[in-house]
Amino acid sequence: MCGAAMLGHMAGGGQAVVSFGDIITPRAAAYNPRTGDFLAARQVGGYNGCGDNMNGIVKTFGSITSRQVAKAPLRARRLLRWAYRLTGAQARFFPRRRFLRAREGMMAAATASVANAMRQTPGAAIVNAFLPCEILHAMDIRPMFPEGMAVYFTAAASEQPFVEAAERAGVPESYCSYHKVLIGAAVSGVLPAPDVVLHTTLACDANRLTFARLAEHYGVPRFCIDVPNRETPQTIIYVANQLREMAAFLQQHTGRRLDEDALQAAVARSQRTILRYREYLRLRADTSVPTDMTGEMLPLFSNHVLLGSQAAEQYAHGLVRDIQRLAAERKPTRILWMHTMPNWQAALNDLFHRHRDLELVGCDLAYDALVDIDPRRPYEAMAQRLLANTLNGPAERRIDATLQMARQLAAGGVIYYNHWGCKSTMGAAQLAKKKLEANGFPTLVLDGDGCDSGNVSDGQQVTRVQAFLEQLGA
Protein backbone atom coordinates (compact mmCIF):
# COMPACT_ATOMS: atom_id res chain seq x y z
CA MET A 1 0.00 0.00 0.00
CA CYS A 2 1.49 3.38 -0.96
CA GLY A 3 1.80 6.15 1.62
CA ALA A 4 -1.23 8.11 0.46
CA ALA A 5 -3.41 5.02 0.23
CA MET A 6 -2.36 4.13 3.77
CA LEU A 7 -3.42 7.60 4.91
CA GLY A 8 -6.82 7.13 3.34
CA HIS A 9 -7.16 3.69 4.91
CA MET A 10 -6.27 4.94 8.39
CA ALA A 11 -8.41 8.05 8.14
CA GLY A 12 -11.44 5.92 7.38
CA GLY A 13 -10.79 3.46 10.17
CA GLY A 14 -10.00 0.80 7.57
CA GLN A 15 -12.37 2.06 4.88
CA ALA A 16 -11.41 4.38 2.06
CA VAL A 17 -13.16 7.72 2.61
CA VAL A 18 -11.49 9.60 -0.23
CA SER A 19 -9.93 8.73 -3.55
CA PHE A 20 -6.21 9.13 -3.08
CA GLY A 21 -5.63 8.05 -6.66
CA ASP A 22 -6.24 11.68 -7.56
CA ILE A 23 -3.40 12.72 -5.28
CA ILE A 24 -0.54 10.28 -5.68
CA THR A 25 0.22 8.72 -9.03
CA PRO A 26 2.41 5.59 -9.29
CA ARG A 27 5.16 7.76 -10.73
CA ALA A 28 4.98 10.21 -7.85
CA ALA A 29 4.96 7.40 -5.32
CA ALA A 30 8.21 5.91 -6.60
CA TYR A 31 11.61 6.04 -4.98
CA ASN A 32 14.19 7.80 -7.13
CA PRO A 33 17.63 6.26 -6.45
CA ARG A 34 19.44 9.03 -8.32
CA THR A 35 18.20 11.83 -6.05
CA GLY A 36 17.31 9.75 -3.02
CA ASP A 37 13.70 10.97 -3.05
CA PHE A 38 10.74 8.91 -1.88
CA LEU A 39 8.06 11.05 -3.42
CA ALA A 40 5.00 9.56 -1.78
CA ALA A 41 6.00 10.89 1.61
CA ARG A 42 7.48 14.25 0.75
CA GLN A 43 6.95 17.88 1.48
CA VAL A 44 4.74 17.71 4.59
CA GLY A 45 7.83 18.62 6.59
CA GLY A 46 8.72 21.57 4.37
CA TYR A 47 9.46 22.52 0.79
CA ASN A 48 11.92 20.21 -0.92
CA GLY A 49 12.17 21.49 -4.47
CA CYS A 50 9.92 18.89 -6.09
CA GLY A 51 8.08 21.29 -8.38
CA ASP A 52 4.45 21.94 -9.22
CA ASN A 53 3.44 18.27 -9.22
CA MET A 54 4.36 17.79 -5.58
CA ASN A 55 2.90 21.15 -4.61
CA GLY A 56 -0.39 20.02 -6.14
CA ILE A 57 -0.24 16.74 -4.22
CA VAL A 58 0.29 18.54 -0.92
CA LYS A 59 -2.48 21.03 -1.63
CA THR A 60 -4.88 18.20 -2.39
CA PHE A 61 -3.88 16.39 0.78
CA GLY A 62 -4.38 19.65 2.71
CA SER A 63 -7.80 20.15 1.17
CA ILE A 64 -8.88 16.64 2.18
CA THR A 65 -7.51 17.03 5.70
CA SER A 66 -9.04 20.48 6.10
CA ARG A 67 -12.51 19.16 5.23
CA GLN A 68 -12.20 16.64 8.06
CA VAL A 69 -11.35 19.22 10.74
CA ALA A 70 -14.88 20.44 11.44
CA LYS A 71 -16.81 17.19 10.96
CA ALA A 72 -14.26 14.56 12.00
CA PRO A 73 -11.33 16.09 13.93
CA LEU A 74 -10.00 12.72 15.06
CA ARG A 75 -9.82 11.62 11.44
CA ALA A 76 -7.94 14.82 10.58
CA ARG A 77 -5.56 14.07 13.44
CA ARG A 78 -4.89 10.57 12.09
CA LEU A 79 -4.30 11.91 8.59
CA LEU A 80 -1.75 14.44 9.81
CA ARG A 81 -0.03 12.03 12.14
CA TRP A 82 0.40 9.42 9.45
CA ALA A 83 1.62 12.01 6.97
CA TYR A 84 4.33 13.06 9.42
CA ARG A 85 5.23 9.47 10.22
CA LEU A 86 5.66 8.71 6.54
CA THR A 87 7.77 11.83 6.02
CA GLY A 88 9.97 10.79 8.93
CA ALA A 89 10.29 7.28 7.52
CA GLN A 90 11.34 8.71 4.16
CA ALA A 91 14.08 10.81 5.79
CA ARG A 92 15.27 7.91 7.91
CA PHE A 93 15.21 5.04 5.41
CA PHE A 94 15.45 6.87 2.08
CA PRO A 95 17.62 9.94 2.84
CA ARG A 96 17.99 12.40 0.00
CA ARG A 97 21.52 12.26 -1.31
CA ARG A 98 21.73 15.92 -2.22
CA PHE A 99 21.56 16.89 1.48
CA LEU A 100 23.84 16.11 4.40
CA ARG A 101 23.00 12.78 6.00
CA ALA A 102 22.81 14.48 9.40
CA ARG A 103 20.17 16.83 8.01
CA GLU A 104 18.02 13.88 7.00
CA GLY A 105 18.49 12.28 10.42
CA MET A 106 17.27 15.39 12.20
CA MET A 107 14.41 15.68 9.72
CA ALA A 108 13.31 12.21 10.82
CA ALA A 109 13.67 13.12 14.51
CA ALA A 110 11.83 16.44 14.20
CA THR A 111 9.00 14.93 12.20
CA ALA A 112 8.73 12.06 14.67
CA SER A 113 8.43 14.56 17.53
CA VAL A 114 5.51 16.24 15.76
CA ALA A 115 3.85 12.89 14.97
CA ASN A 116 4.28 11.77 18.59
CA ALA A 117 2.69 15.00 19.80
CA MET A 118 -0.46 13.99 17.91
CA ARG A 119 -0.86 10.85 20.05
CA GLN A 120 -3.63 10.90 22.65
CA THR A 121 -1.67 9.06 25.32
CA PRO A 122 -0.38 10.11 28.77
CA GLY A 123 3.03 11.70 29.15
CA ALA A 124 2.90 14.88 27.06
CA ALA A 125 3.48 18.57 27.81
CA ILE A 126 2.79 21.59 25.64
CA VAL A 127 5.94 23.73 25.80
CA ASN A 128 7.13 26.93 24.21
CA ALA A 129 10.27 27.11 22.09
CA PHE A 130 12.58 28.41 24.81
CA LEU A 131 11.63 26.08 27.66
CA PRO A 132 14.59 23.90 28.77
CA CYS A 133 13.33 20.38 28.01
CA GLU A 134 16.08 18.30 29.61
CA ILE A 135 13.75 17.67 32.56
CA LEU A 136 11.13 16.30 30.16
CA HIS A 137 13.64 14.09 28.35
CA ALA A 138 14.86 12.72 31.70
CA MET A 139 11.25 11.89 32.66
CA ASP A 140 10.30 10.51 29.23
CA ILE A 141 7.63 13.19 28.73
CA ARG A 142 6.89 14.16 25.12
CA PRO A 143 7.27 17.91 24.39
CA MET A 144 4.47 19.31 22.21
CA PHE A 145 6.22 22.19 20.46
CA PRO A 146 3.61 24.70 19.16
CA GLU A 147 5.82 26.68 16.81
CA GLY A 148 7.10 23.47 15.25
CA MET A 149 3.68 21.85 15.07
CA ALA A 150 2.10 24.94 13.53
CA VAL A 151 4.64 25.15 10.71
CA TYR A 152 4.21 21.42 10.05
CA PHE A 153 0.45 21.98 9.70
CA THR A 154 1.22 24.74 7.20
CA ALA A 155 3.70 22.56 5.31
CA ALA A 156 0.86 20.04 4.93
CA ALA A 157 -1.40 22.82 3.56
CA SER A 158 -3.74 22.21 6.51
CA GLU A 159 -3.45 25.34 8.66
CA GLN A 160 -6.36 27.40 7.31
CA PRO A 161 -9.18 25.63 9.22
CA PHE A 162 -7.15 26.13 12.41
CA VAL A 163 -6.69 29.84 11.67
CA GLU A 164 -10.43 30.16 11.07
CA ALA A 165 -11.33 28.15 14.19
CA ALA A 166 -9.10 30.36 16.35
CA GLU A 167 -10.58 33.57 14.94
CA ARG A 168 -14.11 32.25 15.48
CA ALA A 169 -13.07 31.60 19.08
CA GLY A 170 -12.10 35.26 19.48
CA VAL A 171 -8.38 35.27 18.66
CA PRO A 172 -7.62 38.56 16.86
CA GLU A 173 -6.49 38.57 13.25
CA SER A 174 -3.27 40.39 14.21
CA TYR A 175 -2.21 37.63 16.62
CA CYS A 176 0.94 35.60 15.91
CA SER A 177 -0.11 32.93 13.41
CA TYR A 178 2.02 30.22 15.05
CA HIS A 179 0.03 30.62 18.23
CA LYS A 180 -3.22 31.17 16.36
CA VAL A 181 -2.82 27.87 14.48
CA LEU A 182 -2.05 26.06 17.73
CA ILE A 183 -5.12 27.50 19.48
CA GLY A 184 -7.24 26.61 16.46
CA ALA A 185 -5.92 23.03 16.45
CA ALA A 186 -6.85 22.80 20.13
CA VAL A 187 -10.38 24.26 20.00
CA SER A 188 -11.19 22.24 16.87
CA GLY A 189 -10.37 19.00 18.67
CA VAL A 190 -7.49 17.98 16.40
CA LEU A 191 -4.68 18.63 18.89
CA PRO A 192 -4.83 16.06 21.72
CA ALA A 193 -4.88 17.17 25.33
CA PRO A 194 -1.54 17.31 27.19
CA ASP A 195 -0.95 16.42 30.82
CA VAL A 196 0.41 19.91 31.55
CA VAL A 197 1.29 23.21 29.90
CA LEU A 198 4.77 24.68 30.44
CA HIS A 199 6.26 27.94 29.17
CA THR A 200 8.57 30.84 29.88
CA THR A 201 8.22 34.61 29.63
CA LEU A 202 11.24 34.80 27.31
CA ALA A 203 11.07 36.76 24.05
CA CYS A 204 7.49 36.16 22.90
CA ASP A 205 4.77 38.41 24.33
CA ALA A 206 2.06 35.97 23.14
CA ASN A 207 3.39 33.21 25.41
CA ARG A 208 1.39 34.04 28.51
CA LEU A 209 -1.88 34.56 26.66
CA THR A 210 -1.62 31.48 24.44
CA PHE A 211 -0.48 29.00 27.05
CA ALA A 212 -2.91 30.25 29.67
CA ARG A 213 -5.73 29.80 27.16
CA LEU A 214 -4.58 26.30 26.24
CA ALA A 215 -4.40 25.25 29.89
CA GLU A 216 -7.90 26.62 30.47
CA HIS A 217 -9.26 24.93 27.34
CA TYR A 218 -7.90 21.51 28.28
CA GLY A 219 -8.44 21.92 32.00
CA VAL A 220 -4.83 21.01 32.82
CA PRO A 221 -2.32 22.65 35.19
CA ARG A 222 0.14 25.24 33.89
CA PHE A 223 3.62 26.30 34.99
CA CYS A 224 5.33 29.51 33.85
CA ILE A 225 9.02 30.33 34.34
CA ASP A 226 9.68 34.03 34.76
CA VAL A 227 12.94 35.00 33.02
CA PRO A 228 14.50 38.34 34.05
CA ASN A 229 16.14 40.29 31.24
CA ARG A 230 19.63 40.29 32.80
CA GLU A 231 22.01 37.50 33.76
CA THR A 232 23.46 37.93 37.25
CA PRO A 233 24.32 35.45 40.01
CA GLN A 234 21.04 36.38 41.68
CA THR A 235 18.90 35.87 38.58
CA ILE A 236 20.56 32.51 37.87
CA ILE A 237 19.55 31.34 41.36
CA TYR A 238 16.05 32.77 40.85
CA VAL A 239 15.45 30.92 37.57
CA ALA A 240 17.16 27.71 38.77
CA ASN A 241 14.80 27.55 41.75
CA GLN A 242 11.83 27.91 39.41
CA LEU A 243 13.15 25.02 37.32
CA ARG A 244 13.37 22.89 40.48
CA GLU A 245 9.77 23.82 41.21
CA MET A 246 8.82 22.85 37.66
CA ALA A 247 10.44 19.44 38.16
CA ALA A 248 8.37 18.90 41.32
CA PHE A 249 5.28 20.16 39.48
CA LEU A 250 5.81 17.60 36.71
CA GLN A 251 6.27 14.76 39.17
CA GLN A 252 3.08 15.75 40.97
CA HIS A 253 0.89 16.04 37.88
CA THR A 254 2.27 13.23 35.71
CA GLY A 255 3.00 10.64 38.37
CA ARG A 256 6.48 10.17 36.94
CA ARG A 257 9.66 10.34 38.98
CA LEU A 258 12.64 12.46 38.02
CA ASP A 259 15.99 10.72 38.31
CA GLU A 260 18.55 13.44 39.02
CA ASP A 261 21.30 11.34 37.41
CA ALA A 262 19.21 11.13 34.24
CA LEU A 263 18.76 14.91 34.33
CA GLN A 264 22.50 15.46 34.66
CA ALA A 265 23.06 13.10 31.73
CA ALA A 266 20.55 15.05 29.61
CA VAL A 267 22.20 18.38 30.44
CA ALA A 268 25.61 16.87 29.65
CA ARG A 269 24.24 15.84 26.25
CA SER A 270 23.04 19.40 25.78
CA GLN A 271 26.52 20.76 26.42
CA ARG A 272 28.13 18.29 24.05
CA THR A 273 25.51 19.16 21.41
CA ILE A 274 26.21 22.87 21.79
CA LEU A 275 29.98 22.36 21.53
CA ARG A 276 29.65 20.29 18.38
CA TYR A 277 27.22 22.73 16.80
CA ARG A 278 29.64 25.57 17.48
CA GLU A 279 32.35 23.48 15.80
CA TYR A 280 30.04 23.01 12.80
CA LEU A 281 29.51 26.78 12.55
CA ARG A 282 33.28 27.32 12.65
CA LEU A 283 33.73 24.91 9.74
CA ARG A 284 30.77 26.41 7.90
CA ALA A 285 32.66 29.69 7.64
CA ASP A 286 34.82 28.23 4.86
CA THR A 287 32.60 25.49 3.46
CA SER A 288 29.37 25.59 1.49
CA VAL A 289 26.77 23.02 2.46
CA PRO A 290 23.95 21.62 0.32
CA THR A 291 20.95 22.96 2.17
CA ASP A 292 17.53 24.60 1.93
CA MET A 293 15.24 26.56 4.23
CA THR A 294 14.04 23.40 5.93
CA GLY A 295 17.63 22.38 6.59
CA GLU A 296 18.34 25.71 8.27
CA MET A 297 15.13 25.42 10.30
CA LEU A 298 15.98 22.03 11.80
CA PRO A 299 18.51 23.40 14.35
CA LEU A 300 15.54 25.18 15.93
CA PHE A 301 14.46 21.70 17.04
CA SER A 302 17.90 20.34 17.98
CA ASN A 303 18.97 23.46 19.90
CA HIS A 304 15.66 23.95 21.70
CA VAL A 305 12.99 21.35 22.50
CA LEU A 306 15.12 18.36 21.46
CA LEU A 307 18.23 19.68 23.20
CA GLY A 308 19.31 17.07 25.74
CA SER A 309 18.05 14.18 23.63
CA GLN A 310 20.21 11.59 21.90
CA ALA A 311 18.78 12.67 18.54
CA ALA A 312 20.03 16.24 18.97
CA GLU A 313 23.52 15.10 19.98
CA GLN A 314 23.71 12.68 17.05
CA TYR A 315 22.66 15.50 14.71
CA ALA A 316 25.38 17.87 15.93
CA HIS A 317 28.05 15.17 15.67
CA GLY A 318 26.75 14.24 12.23
CA LEU A 319 26.93 17.82 11.00
CA VAL A 320 30.61 18.04 11.91
CA ARG A 321 31.31 14.63 10.34
CA ASP A 322 29.46 15.50 7.13
CA ILE A 323 30.93 18.97 6.65
CA GLN A 324 34.47 17.66 7.16
CA ARG A 325 33.92 15.45 4.11
CA LEU A 326 33.15 18.43 1.89
CA ALA A 327 35.65 20.54 -0.01
CA ALA A 328 36.63 23.75 1.79
CA GLU A 329 35.04 26.19 -0.65
CA ARG A 330 32.09 28.51 -0.41
CA LYS A 331 29.53 29.99 -2.76
CA PRO A 332 29.90 33.66 -3.74
CA THR A 333 26.73 34.91 -2.04
CA ARG A 334 25.82 33.87 1.49
CA ILE A 335 22.64 34.96 3.27
CA LEU A 336 22.08 34.95 7.01
CA TRP A 337 18.42 34.79 8.04
CA MET A 338 16.89 36.46 11.08
CA HIS A 339 13.72 35.17 12.75
CA THR A 340 11.35 32.43 11.64
CA MET A 341 11.72 30.72 8.26
CA PRO A 342 8.71 30.08 5.99
CA ASN A 343 10.21 26.82 4.77
CA TRP A 344 6.83 25.71 3.40
CA GLN A 345 6.67 28.66 0.96
CA ALA A 346 7.66 27.10 -2.36
CA ALA A 347 8.14 30.27 -4.43
CA LEU A 348 10.46 31.84 -1.88
CA ASN A 349 12.33 28.65 -1.07
CA ASP A 350 12.89 27.96 -4.75
CA LEU A 351 15.07 31.07 -5.03
CA PHE A 352 17.58 29.59 -2.61
CA HIS A 353 17.20 25.97 -3.63
CA ARG A 354 17.97 26.45 -7.33
CA HIS A 355 20.53 29.27 -7.30
CA ARG A 356 23.98 27.71 -7.73
CA ASP A 357 25.88 30.77 -6.47
CA LEU A 358 23.69 31.42 -3.43
CA GLU A 359 23.27 29.73 -0.07
CA LEU A 360 21.61 30.24 3.29
CA VAL A 361 24.20 29.96 6.04
CA GLY A 362 21.99 29.98 9.10
CA CYS A 363 19.14 31.39 11.13
CA ASP A 364 19.63 33.47 14.26
CA LEU A 365 17.12 31.37 16.23
CA ALA A 366 19.54 28.43 15.96
CA TYR A 367 22.46 30.12 17.73
CA ASP A 368 20.55 32.11 20.35
CA ALA A 369 21.96 30.27 23.39
CA LEU A 370 25.15 28.41 22.47
CA VAL A 371 26.75 29.06 25.86
CA ASP A 372 29.05 26.94 28.02
CA ILE A 373 27.24 25.32 30.95
CA ASP A 374 28.19 23.02 33.83
CA PRO A 375 26.16 19.77 33.68
CA ARG A 376 27.05 19.01 37.30
CA ARG A 377 24.66 21.80 38.29
CA PRO A 378 21.81 21.08 35.88
CA TYR A 379 19.26 23.60 37.14
CA GLU A 380 21.76 26.45 37.17
CA ALA A 381 22.99 25.35 33.72
CA MET A 382 19.48 25.51 32.24
CA ALA A 383 18.86 28.83 33.98
CA GLN A 384 22.05 30.28 32.56
CA ARG A 385 21.05 29.25 29.06
CA LEU A 386 17.67 30.98 29.43
CA LEU A 387 19.19 34.19 30.76
CA ALA A 388 21.99 34.28 28.18
CA ASN A 389 19.59 33.86 25.27
CA THR A 390 20.22 36.54 22.66
CA LEU A 391 16.47 37.22 22.46
CA ASN A 392 16.34 38.04 26.16
CA GLY A 393 16.57 41.71 27.04
CA PRO A 394 17.05 44.64 24.65
CA ALA A 395 16.89 44.18 20.87
CA GLU A 396 20.53 45.29 20.54
CA ARG A 397 21.60 42.02 22.13
CA ARG A 398 20.04 39.99 19.33
CA ILE A 399 21.34 42.35 16.65
CA ASP A 400 24.90 42.23 18.03
CA ALA A 401 24.79 38.41 18.06
CA THR A 402 23.67 38.41 14.42
CA LEU A 403 26.42 40.87 13.51
CA GLN A 404 29.00 38.60 15.12
CA MET A 405 27.62 35.52 13.33
CA ALA A 406 27.47 37.34 9.99
CA ARG A 407 31.17 38.07 10.32
CA GLN A 408 32.00 34.51 11.37
CA LEU A 409 30.04 32.94 8.50
CA ALA A 410 31.23 35.48 5.90
CA ALA A 411 27.66 36.46 5.06
CA GLY A 412 27.14 38.82 2.15
CA GLY A 413 23.78 40.03 3.38
CA VAL A 414 21.00 39.52 5.92
CA ILE A 415 17.29 38.90 5.45
CA TYR A 416 15.31 40.11 8.45
CA TYR A 417 11.96 38.30 8.33
CA ASN A 418 9.26 40.56 9.72
CA HIS A 419 6.83 37.86 10.80
CA TRP A 420 3.25 39.12 11.06
CA GLY A 421 2.11 39.32 14.68
CA CYS A 422 5.58 39.26 16.29
CA LYS A 423 5.65 42.70 17.85
CA SER A 424 9.19 42.53 19.26
CA THR A 425 10.67 41.52 15.91
CA MET A 426 8.66 44.04 13.93
CA GLY A 427 9.58 46.79 16.38
CA ALA A 428 13.32 46.13 16.07
CA ALA A 429 13.41 45.83 12.27
CA GLN A 430 14.73 49.25 11.35
CA LEU A 431 17.16 49.28 14.27
CA ALA A 432 18.61 45.97 13.03
CA LYS A 433 18.79 47.16 9.43
CA LYS A 434 20.58 50.37 10.41
CA LYS A 435 23.22 48.67 12.55
CA LEU A 436 23.87 45.74 10.22
CA GLU A 437 24.24 47.97 7.18
CA ALA A 438 26.47 50.37 9.09
CA ASN A 439 28.78 47.41 9.62
CA GLY A 440 28.82 46.38 5.97
CA PHE A 441 25.97 43.87 5.77
CA PRO A 442 23.18 44.86 3.36
CA THR A 443 19.86 43.97 4.99
CA LEU A 444 16.43 43.28 3.54
CA VAL A 445 13.48 43.69 5.89
CA LEU A 446 11.01 41.21 4.40
CA ASP A 447 7.41 41.40 5.57
CA GLY A 448 5.66 38.04 5.67
CA ASP A 449 3.87 35.42 7.70
CA GLY A 450 5.83 32.38 8.77
CA CYS A 451 2.80 30.19 9.32
CA ASP A 452 -0.36 31.45 7.58
CA SER A 453 -0.26 30.83 3.83
CA GLY A 454 -3.36 32.97 3.41
CA ASN A 455 -1.50 36.02 4.66
CA VAL A 456 1.43 36.11 2.22
CA SER A 457 1.97 37.42 -1.28
CA ASP A 458 4.42 35.17 -3.10
CA GLY A 459 4.86 37.56 -6.02
CA GLN A 460 5.73 40.60 -3.94
CA GLN A 461 8.11 38.66 -1.69
CA VAL A 462 9.92 36.97 -4.56
CA THR A 463 10.30 40.30 -6.38
CA ARG A 464 11.78 41.94 -3.30
CA VAL A 465 14.19 39.08 -2.60
CA GLN A 466 15.29 38.94 -6.25
CA ALA A 467 16.02 42.67 -6.22
CA PHE A 468 18.00 42.26 -3.01
CA LEU A 469 20.02 39.40 -4.46
CA GLU A 470 20.77 41.45 -7.57
CA GLN A 471 22.01 44.20 -5.28
CA LEU A 472 24.41 41.66 -3.76
CA GLY A 473 25.54 40.57 -7.22
CA ALA A 474 23.91 37.12 -7.09
Considering the domain 99-472 in this protein, what is its CATH number? 3.40.50.11900
Provide the pLDDT for residue 473. Answer: 84
393: left (phi over 0), alpha (psi -120 to 50) or beta: left
* 3-class secondary-structure state, position 253: helix
Cα torsion angle, 288, 289, 292, 293, sign: negative
d(CA 57, CA 341): 22
| Residue from 202, 223, 203 nearest 211 by CA | 223
Report pTM: 0.88
d(CA 226, CA 207): 11
Contact 81, 119 (CB under 8 A): yes
For the chain, give the percent of residues with pLDDT over 70. 88
Contact 450, 417 (CB under 8 A): yes
Region 429-434: what's the mean pLDDT? 96
Cα torsion angle, 337, 370, 179, 8, sign: positive
* pLDDT digits 0-9 by tens, 71-108: 999 999 999 999 999 999 999 999 988 899 999 999 99
d(CA 146, CA 247): 21
Distances (CA, A) of 168 to 70, 162, 214, 254: 13, 10, 16, 32
Provide the pLDDT for residue 365. Answer: 94
Domain ranges of the chain: 1-98, 99-472
Give the model's confidence band at 459: pLDDT under 50 very low, under 70 low, under 90 confident, else very high: confident
